[in-house]
Amino acid sequence: MFERIWTVFMRFALGGGLYFILEMLARGRSHWTMMLLGGACFFLCGIIHERAAGKIYIWQQMVLCMIVITALEFAAGLIVNVALGWGVWNYSAMPFQVMGQICVPFMLLWYVISYPAILLNEICDNILGKLT
């Protein structure tokens, strides 16, 4: 039980930390909520791969990851940007956007980013499996 909790925490922390760093490099700023969102997305990409490996192609897993990430981003945006008014991001100027919270260009980015997330989750499984 403790090993599973530790594995979930480590994946979540790694994903959140990496996403925070990516945002800092790309935008020069981030927000603590993005660490939570990044951690959740990273963890769920790992779950998708864990359950789908050998059943569907990697590109199909990446599509599922893209959909999950976009759905979480929309939900988080409705909370932090719309309901709370924190203005963490705004895609209103982007093409094919919905309420300024999600847009097609970022969906495509989530598709691309999901591949290294899947691979990194596999590495985490190997490392954490040896530690527990």
How far apart are the C-alpha atoms of 70 and 92, rounded to whole Å? 16
Q: Say which residues have a Cβ less than 8 Å from residue 104's Cβ, sequence separation at least 6.
A: 94, 95, 96, 97
Give the domain extent around 43.
2-131
For the entire predicted model, the pTM comes to 0.92
Q: How far is residue 48's CA from residue 31's CA, in Å, rounded to a whole number?
A: 26
Query: According to DSSP H, which parts of 28-94 are helical?
Result: 32-52, 58-77
Per-residue pLDDT of 27-50, as tens digits, reads: 999 999 999 999 999 999 999 999
What confidence score (pLDDT) does residue 7 get? 84
Specify the DSSP class assigned to residue 83. I
CA 14 – CA 38 distance, rounded (Å) = 9
Res 130: pLDDT: 58
Residue type at position 122: E
Q: Quick one: how many helices (H) and strands (E) in the chain?
A: 4, 2
User: What is the distance, to the nearest Å, from the Cα of residue 101 to the centroid of all Cα atoms in its chain?
Assistant: 15
The answer, yes or no, to whether residue 131 has pLDDT greater than 70, is no
The number of domains in the chain is: 1
- pLDDT at residue 58 in the model: 96
pLDDT digits (tens, 9 = 90+) for 51-98: 998 999 999 999 999 999 999 999 999 999 999 999 999 999 999 999
Separation of CA 51 from chain center = 17
pLDDT tens digit sequence for 1-33: 777 888 889 899 999 999 999 999 999 999 999
